[in-house]
Structure 1
Amino acid sequence: MHRQRLATALVFLLPMASAFATEPTALHCGRLFDARSGTVLADRTIVVREGRIAEVLAGHADVPGTKAIDLTRHTCTPGWTDLHVHLGSQSSPKSYEEEFRLDDTDFAFRSVGYAKKTLLAGFTSVRDLGGEVAPHLRNAINQGLVDGPRIWAAGTSIGTTGGHADPTNGYNAELSHLIGPPGPTEGVVNSVDDARQAVRQRYKEGSDVIKITATGGVLSYARSADAPQFTVEEIKAIVDTAKDYGYRVAAHAHGAEGMKRAVLGGVTSIEHGTYMTDEIMSLMKQKGTWYVPTISAGRFVADKARTEGYFPEIIRPKAIQVGAQIQDTAARAYKGGVKIAFGTDMGVGPHGDNAREFIYMVEAGMPAAVALQAATINAAQVLGTDEQGVIEAGKRADIVAVPGNPLDDIRAVLGVDFVMKDGAIYRQPGTAL
């Protein structure tokens, strides 16, 4: 069910942001993760002024005119980025019926809490890949009306008739007839011309990135999770039109053929990538395509599929089969030299648990430093920004700190107790939330 009728007045009902003032600050870090080298540097002072990193000094430096914050028992890292979230929803046994019962404003109010949980978990930026609430939530956060991460919003995903992004999947004949077949305005395309129109509609609606569903999916009300759902020509039309507006294209893809078509069509990233073959890995390396595994979502759906009644029966076999495979694919892709960036698909799993993806990546054979790079410098490259992803002078003051050293024990990422975004502190040791 579409949520494009969000009331403009809604933002005035939302709680005001709760960050501390952005005064000049000196963060005394016991360790600092250098995302460029993937190493930890000892004893650094980060000076923050007017939302930017002014300088990074060796040692515990006394900086006049700044507020000192003691993080000497912590490792400071660049703020983390989750490249695949859905802040407008969260999976539950009632998710499918709620699409019919709830209004746009219900989902919008829920998204406020989800956004704050994500930020407090250390994720200062996210790419929201599909959901009509996200552009409005992005605007509210940017205006300082609510707390949340910086959002790159896809808005409505682009799919094909009956595909993973067809919003009328599962509707009965009477309802389908009443609504009529969705088209490019609703994100459903069936030709090259439709594909171009759908991208232009996303531009009209204020999207920041384009999301396509290149294959079937796990949670859509349809049998196949892996059938290809676009021609190469349609994908090329989407990618070329997206370039006109400065957009990058992310492709949801589980099946090999649809994934191959997406890479050949020029997408920036493959999301999930469950049945990725050696041929596709070679093609991705040749084309420079990024891989965002979303292991968290795979593990979540595989687990919940064994709970009677959590998913509709048409979903359960797909969830069991696909969910169990994603972590193994991520392991093969890392060994195969595919470029990997961080994403969870939260909204499938519970918002705020995003950092568990680091643990799953390490379990898949990636060094802890590589997992952290995936959520910092690599994620910034996927987004196409040089404003963040490293702790260096001139960059955004997006900084996260965890007790201990995550390179020694990756589970330290679950203990975030300092979060700064654009120089504003949202969480710090000893402060009640």
Structure 2
Amino acid sequence: MSAPQTVVIDDGVIAQIGAVDSHESSAVQVDGTGKFLVPGLIDSHVHISTPMALDALASYGVTTAVNLACYNYTFCSALMSLEGTADMITASRPAIGTDSAHARLPLGDNPPGSTLSPGDNTSAWVETWAFPPESSASFLKVTAEPDGPNQELLNGVVAATHAKGYYAVMHASYLSAYEQAIVARPEGIQHIPADGIMPTRIARQIAAQDQFVTPTMAIFRVGANSQLLRQLLGQNYTWPVMQANLHALIAAGVTILAGTDSADLRAANVTMPYGFNLHCELEFLVEAGMRPIDALRAATALPAKLQNMYDRGVVHVGKRADLVLLNANPLVNISNTRDIARVWVAGVAYADVSHDVKQRCSQLNLIARDFW
């Protein structure tokens, strides 16, 4: 944190930082004395299906959502065009195996040809399903799982994505899937192994290859507390194993991004607590050995840089004015990110700011959809 300064916002961007002699008479002035200004937070793994989810994120100072699957590019583009709420970028239609667990989940339509089978032309799949002319996707998502695409298919879709100038991330919540991600070399790995303790060599190899990991501890914490979600996840795991695996990644020097895997489970009329989840994710990162400043960077500067959102993530002149004014210093206690005074999205004050500072992250659970 720097010494007290004045930050001037003009036309949605940070126009000036430092001593400012005068302000235009029309300017709105906010006294931030004793408070702490941080960049708007970025949830690097979330599933957005309604504008209300974006509103919930914004209310908690999460000004950017990275949507990790898009089954309808027209619909995703509409969500991305909304103003006055959290901004959004999206992944492609996920590359999943034809007979895989993800293909059987009610996540979206899978028309003929949209899933991967051995022998498929991966370049054609990427061209047709991930990045067709109408695609609003910024990157590829591919899912590695025991009954998912084989190594040849994983390698192929990642290579074809790189050939088109996009980056790739891989869903991997098994140790075997982490091994596949090391071979396929996507830029990012989503989730953390839930089926056993991660060998140190895996964490070190990921670090050596400069792959980032978005562990999404929040969804596993919800799963530990919710039988419904645990059944949907379809994996047996314990919270201490998840913490140990995250600690191994941090100790190995792997770049960590903060993401939650928050989703709207409308079939069960429940949802995950968008926004609040990300603050818990930061607490889980610190509990696993990360310094508060590094946890904060995992939700601001690092995801902006690594996911090509160069216009945000830092409080610098010329950057998008996604900002959160806190009542307490998050570098002293990371839970202070929840103590929000004000939120700005692209320079516009968000009115309905959350003041939820008492919930315990250890009790993170699903909530009713009518909560919105």
Query: Into which bin does the TM-score normalised by the smaller protein fall?
Result: 0.7 to 0.9
Q: Percent identity?
A: 23
Matched, 1:203 2:131: yes
Higher mean C-alpha deviation, range 133-142 or range 400-409: 133-142
- Read off the aligned partner of 2:58 and give its amino acid letter: L
CA displacement at 1:134 relative to structure 2: 7.5
After superposition, the Cα gap between the structure-2 partners of 1:383 and 1:190, relative to the gap in structure 1 and judged at 3 Å, is same
CA displacement at 1:272 relative to structure 2: 1.1
In 1, the alpha carbon distance for the partners of 2:61 and 2:230 equals: 33
After superposition, the Cα gap between the structure-2 partners of 1:169 and 1:83, relative to the gap in structure 1 and judged at 3 Å, is closer
CA displacement at 1:120 relative to structure 2: 1.5
Name the SS for the 1:252 alignment partner: strand
Q: Deviations over 1:237-268 (max 9, x none)?
A: 21222124332211110222221222221201
Aligned residues: CA RMSD: 2.7
In 2, the alpha carbon distance for the partners of 1:214 and 1:290 equals: 16
Matches within 5 A, 1:248-263: 248-263=167-182
Q: Deviations over 1:35-54 (max 9, x none)?
A: xxxxx112121111111111
After superposition, the Cα gap between the structure-2 partners of 1:300 and 1:169, relative to the gap in structure 1 and judged at 3 Å, is closer
* Equivalent residue in structure 2 for 1:79, among 29, 36, 40: 40
Judge conservation of contact 1:355–1:413 (CA < 8 Å) in 2: yes
Matched, 1:160 2:97: yes
Number of equivalenced pairs: 338
After superposition, the Cα gap between the structure-2 partners of 1:56 and 1:228, relative to the gap in structure 1 and judged at 3 Å, is farther
Matched, 1:328 2:244: yes
Matched, 1:417 2:341: yes
- Read off the aligned partner of 2:275 and give its amino acid letter: G
Give the match for residue 368 of structure 2.
none
In 2, the alpha carbon distance for the partners of 1:134 and 1:414 equals: 33
Name the SS for the 2:249 alignment partner: helix
Matched, 1:369 2:293: yes
Name the SS for the 1:298 alignment partner: helix
- Read off the aligned partner of 1:211 and give its amino acid letter: K
In 2, the alpha carbon distance for the partners of 1:253 and 1:87 equals: 20
Name the SS for the 1:408 alignment partner: coil
In 2, the alpha carbon distance for the partners of 1:425 and 1:73 equals: 19
Name the SS for the 1:81 alignment partner: strand
In 2, the alpha carbon distance for the partners of 1:346 and 1:259 equals: 22
Judge conservation of contact 2:207–2:252 (CA < 8 Å) in 1: no
Name the SS for the 1:355 alignment partner: helix
After superposition, the Cα gap between the structure-2 partners of 1:152 and 1:184, relative to the gap in structure 1 and judged at 3 Å, is farther
Q: Deviations over 1:185-207 (max 9, x none)?
A: 2xx10246443333221212512
Judge conservation of contact 1:260–1:280 (CA < 8 Å) in 2: yes
Give the match for residue 295 of structure 1.
217
Matches within 5 A, 1:165-176: 165-166=102-103, 168=104
Judge conservation of contact 1:126–1:149 (CA < 8 Å) in 2: yes
Q: Deviations over 1:355-381 (max 9, x none)?
A: 211111111121111100001111112
Judge conservation of contact 1:141–1:149 (CA < 8 Å) in 2: no
Matches within 5 A, 1:260-339: 260-274=179-193, 275=196, 276-305=198-227, 310=228, 315=232, 318=235, 320-321=236-237, 325-339=241-255
Q: Give the structure with higher Rg (CA).
A: 1
Give the match for residue 60 of structure 2.
121
Name the SS for the 1:41 alignment partner: coil
Judge conservation of contact 2:42–2:62 (CA < 8 Å) in 1: yes
Name the SS for the 2:254 alignment partner: coil
Name the SS for the 1:83 alignment partner: strand
Scaled by the length of structure 2, what TM-score is found? Answer: 0.82
Judge conservation of contact 1:120–1:352 (CA < 8 Å) in 2: yes
Matches within 5 A, 1:200-239: 200=127, 201-204=129-132, 205-206=134-135, 207-215=137-145, 227=146, 229-239=148-158
Judge conservation of contact 1:228–1:257 (CA < 8 Å) in 2: no
Scaled by the length of structure 1, what TM-score is found? Answer: 0.71
In structure 2, stretches of 5+ residues that fail to align are 264-270, 356-372
Matched, 1:148 2:85: yes
In structure 1, stretches of 5+ residues that fail to align are 1-39, 89-110, 171-178, 216-226
Q: Deviations over 1:324-380 (max 9, x none)?
A: 532321122111211111111111732132221111111112111110000111111
Give the match for residue 25 of structure 1.
none
* Equivalent residue in structure 2 for 1:243, among 150, 155, 162: 162
- Read off the aligned partner of 1:152 and give its amino acid letter: I
CA displacement at 1:128 relative to structure 2: 0.6
Dislocated runs of 4+, deviation >4 Å: 428-431
